[in-house]
Amino acid sequence: MSSLAIWMISLAVGLAIIVLSGAVGDLTIHAVAAALISLSMAAMAVTENRQQRKAGASENLVAASTARYMGLVWVWGALSLFTTYYFILSWKEWLVFTGAFAVIGALCLFFAATLDRDEAAGRTDETLQKLAKYLSIGQLIGMLIVMLGLVIDGKFPVTAPGNPGWQDWAANNIFFFGALSVALITANALYTKHQREKAGTQNA
C-alpha cells in the first residue's frame, strides 16, 4: 500500500474516531481516542523517517516525509475541530483555530510537495533544507510551549465538559495530543538528521 493511501486512511479513521467520541460526550474516551490517533501518526512518521535514514534516502525525501506527516496532524486537527464544533459541540473560538490549523497544514503539505519536486528534478536546495530544519525546531519549541500552557492553565487534563457555548474540552484534547504528535515527529527528525551529519563528519 502506498504512503499516500496510508495517509488518507489514517486521516479518515482518525477523524471518524474523534468525532464519534466527541458525540458520546465522554471526556476520558475522547482523550484516549485523541492520544491513540495522534501517537499513531507520530509512530508512522518516526518509522518512515528511520527507514529512510537506514536506506540512505536523500535529504529532500526525508524532509518531505517529515513535513507531510506534520501536515497530516495539522489537517486532522482542523477537520476534527470543524466537524466537532460545527455539528456536535459549541465553542465560540472554534472557527479561528480551525482556520489556523488548516493554513499551517496546507503550508506543510506545500513544503513537502516542493521538496518532492526538487527530488524529481534531481536538485537539492540548501536554502529549503535549512528552512526545513528551522521550521522543525520552531514547531518543536512551539508545541512544547502549547502543552505546558494547557497544563498550567488547567485546560489539560480535562476534568469537566464546560458550560454550554464554551465546550472547549474536546479542542483541548486535540490541542494537547496534536502538539505532542508534532513534537515527537520533529524531535525524531532533528535527532536522525543530527546523527547523519555526525556520521558524515566522522567519515570525512
Place of cell 460526550: 25
- 3-state DSSP call for residue 155? coil
C-alpha atoms less than 13 angstroms from C-alpha of 18 in its C-beta half-sphere: 32
Q: What is the pLDDT of residue 200?
A: 75
Residue among 185, 189, 203, 194 nearest 70 (CA) = 185
Residue among 57, 53, 72, 59 nearest 3 (CA) = 72
pLDDT greater than 70 at residue 202: no
Average pLDDT over residues 104-115: 96
Identity at 54, one-letter amino acid code:
K
pTM over 0.75: yes
How many domains does one find in the chain?
Answer: 1
Residue 167 in grid coordinates: 465546550
Q: What is the pLDDT of residue 158?
A: 77
Contacts of 71 (CB under 8 A, 6+ apart): 105, 106, 107, 108, 109, 112
Q: What is the pLDDT of residue 26?
A: 82
pLDDT greater than 60 at residue 166: yes
The alpha carbon torsion through 105, 109, 110, 112 (nearest 10 deg) reads 140
In this predicted model, what pLDDT tens digit does every residue of 21-43 receive, in sequence order? Answer: 888 888 888 998 899 889 999 99
Residue 6: how many other CB atoms lie within 10 Å: 13
Residue 59 in grid coordinates: 535529504
Full residue range of the structural domain in which residue 89 is found: 3-203
